[in-house]
Chain A
Amino acid sequence: MNDRIVLTYHVSPEDFTRAGEASSDVKNKLKQMGVSPSAVRKVAIAMYEGEINMVIHANGGDITVEITPEKIVMILKDVGPGIADVEKAMQEGYSTAPDHVRSLGFGAGMGLPNMKNYTDDIQIDTKLGVGTTVTMTINL
């Protein structure tokens, strides 16, 4: 593996049919690099949840994935509405997803909790009306 690989993705707003493409691409690349299946699965799950959140809540955004031999860092940046109450949003079962999103099978209030559970570190930097940056780290 090279010392440092950076992948960047743009997430389209409100496009549920394409949501997950960035996560799938990262998953495939990590597999090719020989990253352990359990780490690949963690990255895939955490990143997909983040990607879906951007589609549902934030008019899309941009994702940067940094891969080094020690760790994988995912930075998900949007200019959406921001998260009013991060503590609540981190609670399992709490969701502000609209009905049309729930009808697709989302809105269980597990997005951020999954992101926390499947990563070694998660930092949420959010400001109402400005946007949110979520930084997730998985140690290898």
Chain B
Amino acid sequence: MTVQQLIDSSGFSPVNAGGDARDRAISGVYCCDLLSIAMGHAPADCAWVTVMANMNTLAVAALADVACVVLAEGAALDDASAEKAKLQGITVLSTDLPVFDAALRVHTMLR
């Protein structure tokens, strides 16, 4: 499944759709809110589900090469962070679902 297909079919709201990144195939789902753990363990090309919504989330997403970020529990980026997501072409989606349910939805779509 590509990032674009996740955007189209997940029901999650796109905060930033991301540029070329939308063609990327999603390799799996990863959940964690502690950034250094996510940094060290999030697999490249995964959909990363977290409630940590700040500038540093985006830095980790870009550096660890995740395919997209899913903000769960209604977590929201502030304006400056949303702008950074746009500038860096990082796909960010948001949902009111809890972390597990959001991850399960992505996982189910991947199967």
| Known contacts A110-B34, A110-B37; A105 and B56 CB within 8 A of each other | yes
CB neighbours (8 Å) of A106 from chain B are: 34-36, 56
- In the assembled complex, the CB of A68 is this many whole angstroms from the nearest CB of chain B, namely 22
Verify if B7 is at the interface (C-beta below 8 Å from A). no
Give the interface size bracket for A toward B.
20 to 34
Partner pick for B63 among A24, A37, A113, CB 8 A cutoff: A24
24 inter-chain pairs at a CB distance below 8 angstroms, sorted by A residue, are A16-B54, A17-B55, A17-B80, A20-B60, A23-B59, A24-B62, A24-B63, A27-B63, A41-B44, A41-B65, A45-B63, A45-B64, A48-B39, A104-B52, A104-B56, A105-B52, A105-B54, A105-B56, A108-B35, A108-B36, A110-B34, A110-B36, A110-B37, A114-B39
Residues of A within 8 A of B (CB): 16-17, 19-20, 23-24, 27, 37, 41, 44-45, 48-49, 52, 104-111, 113-114, 117-118
